[in-house]
């Protein structure tokens, strides 16, 4: 089970540590960066342009997961319920593996959710969008207080994107989504634990997960597009945890601009997460 810290953060000390570590990183990058750093109870430690709405990339898969689990909690569907993959449309490519496994005709909702988060599988995601509907996911965002987030298209739908339909979020909204998941009463304990287990099993570790101190635990969801790097997650060191979201675009290096991994964008997010983890580590060491 993913460990959540049970000690209250010294928010002033953590804010000072992160601001000090961020200053040279931000001075050295042309990117536009939105950041939200919060305690587990949702209290803001540090924010920078956190309300700026921008294309979500695969970060939108976090609200899809939570909207699904709310439906499960309300009894409208079950995690062991089978869903035909045709419900999500064509076997689109991009991230994931199901577009290569043509003999797989259906999976349970739990399996689809796992593939959507752990491997960022677009076929699994589209199947769940087909089940829930874009409007329901957007309505969940409103119920959860995510004012700038919306789901308007399926994954890899270039025609919809060209028509002006895209998926959007902000750093503050992504942090609020994680806060909703963690808040007692939003979901039954077993569904909250299920969601955390998926995020903790995230296989994309080139961003927040790339340079963390060895004793750091991470549960997160990344999102990448050419020129854009996002990550949203929970960091735990010892008995201290924090929610960190960074959405960044405007990178000018060719690797970040032309690909979905690596480059200055991935490095920047890795260094920011390390700064936050070291701030948590300092508090854990002070406790010893």
For residue 68, what pLDDT is reported?
A: 98
For residue 89, what pLDDT is reported?
A: 54
4-28 pLDDT, tens digit per residue, is: 999 999 999 999 999 999 999 999 9
Mean pLDDT by 10 residues, the chain (288 residues): 95 97 96 97 97 97 98 98 76 89 94 98 95 97 97 90 91 98 96 98 95 96 95 98 97 90 94 98 88
For residue 88, what pLDDT is reported?
A: 46
Which pair of tokens denotes residue 170?
């902000």
Domain ranges of the chain: 1-51+205-288, 53-169
Instruction: Determine whether domain 1-51+205-288 maps to CATH 3.30.450.330.
Output: yes
For residue 164, what pLDDT is reported?
A: 84
Q: What is the DSSP string of the chain?
A: ------S---HHHHHHHHHHHHHHHHHT---EEEEEEE-TTS-EEEEESTT--EE-GGGGHHHHHHHHHHHHHTTSS-TT-EEEGGGG-S---SSSSGGG-TT--EEEHHHHHHHHHHS--HHHHHHHHHHH-HHHHHHHHHHTT-TT-B--S-TT-HHHHHTT---EE-HHHHHHHHHHHHSBTTB-HHHHHHHHHHHHT----SSGGGS--TT-EEEEEEEEETTEEEEEEEEEETTEEEEEEEEEE---SHHHHH-SS-HHHHHHHHHHHHHHHHHHHHHHHHH-
Q: What's this model's pTM, rounded to 2 decimal places?
A: 0.96
For residue 286, what pLDDT is reported?
A: 87
The CATH superfamily assigned to 53-169 is: DD-peptidase/beta-lactamase superfamily (3.40.710.10)
78-110 pLDDT, tens digit per residue, is: 999 999 997 445 788 888 899 999 899 999 999
């Amino acid at each position: 089970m993913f460990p959540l810290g049970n000690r209250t953060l010294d928010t002033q000390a953590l804010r000072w540590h992160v601001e000090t570590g961020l200053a040279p990183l931000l001075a050295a990058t042309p990117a536009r960066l939105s950041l939200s750093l919060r305690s587990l109870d949702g209290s803001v430690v540090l924010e920078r342009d956190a309300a700026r709405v921008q294309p979500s990339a695969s970060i939108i898969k976090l609200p899809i997961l939570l909207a699904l689990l709310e439906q499960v909690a309300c009894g409208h569907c079950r995690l062991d319920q089978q869903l035909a993959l045709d419900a999500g449309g064509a076997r689109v490519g991009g991230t994931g593996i199901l577009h290569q496994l043509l003999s797989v005709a259906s999976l349970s909702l739990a399996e689809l959710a796992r593939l959507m988060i752990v491997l960022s599988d677009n076929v699994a995601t589209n199947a769940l969008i087909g089940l829930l509907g874009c409007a329901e996911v957007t309505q969940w965002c409103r119920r959860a207080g995510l004012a700038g987030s919306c789901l308007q298209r399926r994954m890899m739908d270039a025609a919809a994107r060209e028509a002006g339909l895209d998926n959007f979020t902000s750093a503050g909204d992504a942090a609020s989504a994680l806060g909703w998941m963690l808040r007692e009463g939003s979901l039954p304990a077993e569904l909250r634990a299920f969601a955390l287990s998926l995020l903790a099993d995230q296989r994309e570790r080139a961003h927040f997960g790339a340079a963390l101190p060895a004793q750091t635990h991470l549960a997160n969801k990344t999102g990448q597009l050419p020129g854009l790097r996002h990550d949203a997650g929970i960091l735990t060191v010892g008995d201290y945890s924090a929610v960190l979201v960074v959405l960044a675009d405007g990178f000018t290096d060719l690797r970040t601009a032309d690909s979905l991994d690596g480059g200055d964008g991935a490095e920047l997010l890795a260094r920011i997460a390390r700064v936050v983890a070291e701030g948590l580590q300092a508090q854990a060491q002070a406790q010893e």
